Structure 1
Amino acid sequence: MEWFNVGKIVNTHGIWGEVRVISKTDFADERYEVGSELGLFKADGSKPITVKVASHRKHKNFDLLTFEGYSLLKDVEPFRDAILKVSDKYLTELEENEFYYHEIIGCTVVSTEGETIGTVTEILETGANDVWAVQPSKGKTHYIPYIEDVVKSVDIDNKKIVIEVLEGLLS
């Protein structure tokens, strides 16, 4: 079974077992739906715990969650700095030209002329569109916007992305 990061527990919230989560998922409503099962990976490296979401609400820039069987502050304090992950069996099919982060990170980026530009190392959310950080074998990171004018094809099976290098894009 493979696990994929959906968020990090950064603190507790209140006295009734709520945890404050910084989400790393575009599907917060789906991932944190009441009854959803998540893997809780503690910072100490111990065996992951399966938790079931009991409640979810938004508060400022955080997702606040409670888990079944963990109703008090003392129950969830050990979860601070834990990573919440979803099992691959809960991943859903995406629409055309939509991808999970784990599918894009690690892909080789090449120009339409066949020149290797680098490897996607990170995805940054800007509000307008995602920006892919591409690390070449030598030199500084390039930031490639995920827009139709630039990204020409994405081949997940072969981990290859073809882009049109617009003027100034790689400088």
Structure 2
Amino acid sequence: MKKDDCFYLGKIVKKYSFKGELLAKLDTDEPDLYDQLEAIFVDLRGNLVPFFVESSQLHKSDLLRLKFEDVDTEADADALIKTDLYLPLDLLPKLEGDKFYFHEVIGFKIKDQNFGAVGTITGINDSTAQALFEIDRDGIEILIPMNDEFIVKVDREQQTIEVKTPEGLIDLYLES
């Protein structure tokens, strides 16, 4: 299984018991969707390795307590701390309306109500406080905040996102 075929679920943050149990911090708004998993992919030195889940349950709302098969000691558990967890993309719940997953909109066209056609989404920058659409317009990078107030409509069939940005925002990138 390749990372491109998976989505990031979270990270193992610490041991829970001396019997190999672990706590994972999930990167989701709905952690209860993932408390009955049968298997999870763990990123071990760049390789996704499947681990079978013996038991799992939510712990303090946003942590998932995991017991993997064949991870029975503290030493086994220590080896997995700070590793990333992944699941196949087909396990992602389907989103509708104007909600979307970041990976889903790469390649979509952005159209602004005031400006018109802006360009194509090449990536999402979520390393800042406000996630940004990274848009290519004929070799010029334009960044538009992924703000609910700016996003008017997501059209999956046409692969377009309609936005309404503040007057002049897009022009800032085009003036040189």
- CA pair 51-136 structure 1, distance change in 2 beyond 3 A: same
Tell me by how many angstroms 1:7 deviates.
Answer: 0.7
Q: Percent identity?
A: 20
Greater C-alpha Rg: 2
CA contact (8 A) 1:8 1:83 kept: yes
**Distance (whole Å) between structure 2 residues aligned to residue 166 and residue 47 of structure 1:** 42
| Residue number in structure 1 paired with 2:98 | 97
Gaps of 5+ in 2: none
- CA pair 12-108 structure 1, distance change in 2 beyond 3 A: farther
Gaps of 5+ in 1: none
Q: How does 1:29-108 map to 2 (within 5 A)?
A: 29-31=32-34, 33-42=35-44, 44-52=45-53, 54-59=55-60, 63-69=63-69, 70-105=71-106, 107-108=108-109
SS of residue in 1 equivalent to 2:47: coil
SS of residue in 1 equivalent to 2:146: strand
**Distance (whole Å) between structure 2 residues aligned to residue 14 and residue 91 of structure 1:** 29
Cα RMSD, aligned residues only: 3.3
Instruction: Encode CA deviations 1:2-58: one digit per residue, 9 max, x unaligned.
Output: 211111223334423232323222331112x1344221122x123512332612233
- CA pair 98-13 structure 1, distance change in 2 beyond 3 A: same
**Distance (whole Å) between structure 2 residues aligned to residue 145 and residue 157 of structure 1:** 22
**Distance (whole Å) between structure 1 residues aligned to residue 68 and residue 82 of structure 2:** 19
The residue identity in structure 2 corresponding to 1:57 is L
Query: How many positions carry a matched residue from both structures?
Result: 162
TM-score, scaled relative to structure 1: 0.71
1:133 aligns with 2:132: yes
TM-score, scaled relative to structure 2: 0.69
